Each structure stands twice: as C-alpha cells, then as structure tokens.
Structure 1
Amino acid sequence: MRAVILLLLCLLTAFACAQEDSDWIAYRDAYRQMIWFEKYGKPKQFLQNHYRLRPRDKSISMDGVRLTLNSKAAQVSLALDALGRAVFPFSKAAYDDNAELVVNRKASQFKAGPWVSIVTRPDGVYTAADLRTACEQQLAYLRYSGVNAGKGCVGVQFTYGRSDTAQVQFHATGAAPVTLAVKDGPAFADDVVQNLRVVVYRFASLPEAGQLVTGSTPLAIAGLFE
C-alpha cells in the first residue's frame, strides 16, 4: 500500500510539473471566455475585446513572444500588439478539433484571457461625451463579466510606448487648448509593466463639453474606475 501511495504522489507531482511547464492553452477554454463579449447584448460600440498575454512578473519580457493557433487543419500565427493583445479567431473547426493556443515560452509566465478596452480613433479626435459613454460601457461590461472594477467612471487613460509622441490636448469652444500631463505608468491598473507613457483625463478636472485631440494613436485607452 505504501508503494502505491508513493507512486500516486509521484504521478500527481509529475502531472503538476507538466502543467506548470506547459507552453499551450486550451483553445476551448479561451473560446468560452471570449464568447462572453460576443453575446453581450448591451451597448458596446466604443469597446473592443482582445485575447491578451501579460507577464506575471516585471522581469519577464514580451519581446519575441509569439502566439499560434494549432489545430488539425491549420497552424495560424496570431499577431500580438505591444501590449500582448491579439484578435481572437472564432473557429468551430478549431473548437471541434480541441486545438491549442501555443506560446513560444512557458505559458505559466503569463496571465492569459479576454481584455476589453476602448476603441481608438484613426483621426485622433474624441469628444468628451463619447469618452464618458465609453467608460460607462466598459464598467458595465466588466461588472457583467464578474470583475469588480470600481464604484464609478472618473476618467480615461491614454497609453503610449516609450518612443511614441505622447500628447493629448483638451479643446473647448472659446478657450485655449489644455495639454494634459504625461507620466510613467502601466497601460492598465493591475499590469506589472510600469514603464509606459500615460496621459490621464479626469472628467471632473475639465469642462463637460469639449474634444480630446491626440498627437498620435495611443496603444490603448482604458476607463478609470474609482
């Protein structure tokens, strides 16, 4: 009996280590997570949903990280942006094949899952009213998906890379443009990577009517919840 117990412990330990060292994520699990946004019936025209990989530790670099969908029918490379986000491919064939999302690193080094943010505009012009609505939409969706994001929307944050032109100005009728402060920080509240350039627009600090004009397209826009 003792030998059997020891054998079982060894097998369980080996299984746990194999899971820890795995470089893949079950496509079906990711699909079930991502489909929530697709089925969400409330307003979401200002929102976008990606599948995201983000480091668990600040010492882990995203440089060279690749994500691939491997199924019986095909192998598809999923492009990751600077924040580790990819457009998720909804595929019945991949689901039926029990496909894998393969990372070229140990998957345990990353947190992986759906990531909702505010859509960026190619012209770089955002009305204050639209940003308020976008923030409320994001908060409503996060609550729907079970995330306790905060009590309410207080603003939005624009995120830029270190070498990007990080400039956001508030324009109100009859007033000189106000350039918002740039500081170092994370793209999203609980990210471990803190060395990006961020611009925070707090709704209460500026007139209710106006436009936000960006000097270049941000990597991301996210609601601020407090």
Structure 2
Amino acid sequence: MRTVRLSLATVAAAALPLLLAAGQAHAQLQDGEWASYRDAYRAMVVFEKYGGPKHFLQSQLQVLPRGAAVLGDGLQLTLAGKTTQLHLPLDPLGRTPLPLQKAAYDDNAALVLNRKGIPFALRPQVSIAIRADGVYDSADLRSACAQALGFARYVDASQRSRQCVGTRFVFGKKGEGGAHWRPEGGSEDVLPAAPGVAEQGLPTVIYRFGSERGQVLTDSVPLAILPVFE
C-alpha cells in the first residue's frame, strides 16, 4: 500500500482546514456566535431529499471554529427556540446529527454553543457509515465512495471531473487508531498513516483503491470514514 498525499479542494471552499465533505456547497450558514436553525435545516435537508443511492452514507452538521478559536472537549450545540430546547453533543470533529423539527424551523430557532467567545460557521458533512464489527469490504468502500461522489456532483457540478480513489479513516486519539488490509487469500498488511493530513491532530489512515479485492480491518472504531476524490 502507498501512502497517499492529499491535495483536495473542498466542494464549497478550498481553504477550509477540516474534513473533505461531499455536499459542502450549502455549508457556510453564518459566521458568528450563533447560527440560524432554518438555514441549517435547509442545508441538511438537501441530503435527506437526495434521490440517488446513499445507503452507505450518513450526514451530520459540523461546527467549524473561526480564526484562532478551538472547539475543545465537552462542547455542545444548543438548539434554542420559543418551544424548543435541545442540547446536541459534538464529537471530536465538531459534528452532530441535526434533528429536523418543523416547530424549530417555524420559530427560526438559534443554534449556539455552550461556551461563549467561539465564533463559528456550520456546514453539512457527509461521510461513510461506520460498521460496528470494524470490517469493511473493499467493494463496499468503493460503492460508498461512489455514492458520496454522486451526491457531491448533485450539489456542485464542478465535481464531475473528480474520481473516487480511496477512503481515509480518522480515529479518536493519537496512538489508538489504525487499520489493516487483508487481501483475498493473502496476509494482512498495516495501512499507512497519512502524514500531513491529520484532522485536528487526530490520526488518519488511508486506503487507496487498487485492483485487489479484500477487507479493511480497523483496530478501533473510527470517528469518520471519508471519501477521497482526485
């Protein structure tokens, strides 16, 4: 396996320092210490209404700290409206599922962080669904990447020139993440870490598609599995 050097533009803004996400064309909702739930709803519902294949995918709302701000541990996104009060815990990548609620939409509830002084923006983040057993067939990963690219092309025609070349696995804590490649009829091999591609200091492992069939086995549950387009 070869280590892959990524130089990927995101769908909406090439300068964003976080995850490549299929479907970022609707991502920049607001830049401040609060965001409109109505805007977030409209961005997230694009994936829900998408009629193409997506059974290998999941969509979450991602908080992007602005400037020198950092998210830190224990951060939550609060949905606050006249009739709605929900606390949405963020994972280490700043992501959370966004409940689609008509009452909160009608109220145009606010989305705020539980800590002051952190300016942020929001974007949808589409990734590949996690398997509880940690076993990912190469054919399924190819299909998942193709589904993500199909959605990316749906929201942004400029993505039509890109192709799926692999997936990257992002793990929770340094030293805890890792994955192996087990080819059909062959012995396991450690997949390489991706130098210079770590997500917020988190370890990242690359699986690049090849002609050989087999399985990717993760040593621990990844935070995210992301498609790689070139």
Change (3 A) 1:110 1:45: same
8 Å contact kept, 1:158–1:200:
yes
Q: Please, which of 159, 166, 170 is the counterpart of residue 155 of structure 1? A: 166
Counting aligned pairs with the same residue, the percent is: 45
Q: Which residue of 2 aligns with 1:90?
A: 100
Q: Larger radius of gyration, structure 1 or 2?
A: 1
Structure 2 unpaired stretches of 5+: 1-29
Aligned equivalents of 1:55, 1:185: Cα separation in 2: 20
1:16 aligns with none
2:174/2:202 contact within 8 Å kept: no
Counterpart position of 1:45: 55
Q: Which position in structure 2 is the counterpart of 1:62?
A: 71
Distance 1:95 1:159, change over 3 A: same
1 CA distance for matches of 2:162 and 2:140?
20
Aligned to 2:36: 26
Instruction: Output the TM-score relative to the length of structure 2.
Output: 0.79
128-137 or 138-147: bigger deviation? 138-147
Q: What is the CA deviation profile of residues 59-100 of structure 1, one whole-angstrom value per residue up to 9, with x for unaligned ones? A: 322114321000111311011111000110110011111211
Match of 1:167 among 170, 178, 182: 178
- Report if the CA contact (8 A) 2:84-2:103 is conserved: no
Q: Deviations over 1:15-65 (max 9, x none)?
A: xxxx97x421111111111110000011000100001102234x3221143
In the alignment, which residue of structure 2 is the partner of 1:143?
153
**Could you tell me which of 107, 123, 127 is aligned with 2:133?**
123
| CA shift in 2, pair 1:78/1:164, >3 Å | farther
Counterpart residue number, 1:4: none
Q: Matched residues in 1 for 2:196 and 2:168: separation?
A: 10
Task: Describe the SS at the equivalent of 1:115.
Answer: strand
TM norm structure 1? 0.80
RMSD between aligned residues: 2.0
Q: Deviations over 1:103-154 (max 9, x none)?
A: 23456x3231211011111100000000000001011101111274561000
**How has the CA–CA distance of structure 1 residues 217 and 62 changed in structure 2, closer, same or farther, with 3 Å as cutoff?**
same
Q: 1:97 to 1:136 in 2, by over 3 A?
A: same
3-state SS of paired residue (1:61): coil
Q: Counting helix residues as a fraction of each chain, which structure ranks higher? A: 1
8 Å Cα contact 1:185-1:196 kept in structure 2: no
What is the identity, as a one-letter code, of the residue corresponding to 1:62? L
| Whole-angstrom CA distance in 2 between matches of 1:70 and 1:60 | 22
What is the CA–CA distance in structure 2 between the aligned matches of 1:147 and 1:111, rounded to whole Å? 23
> How many residues get paired?
198
2:87 alignment partner AA: S
Structure 1, unpaired ranges of 5+: 1-18
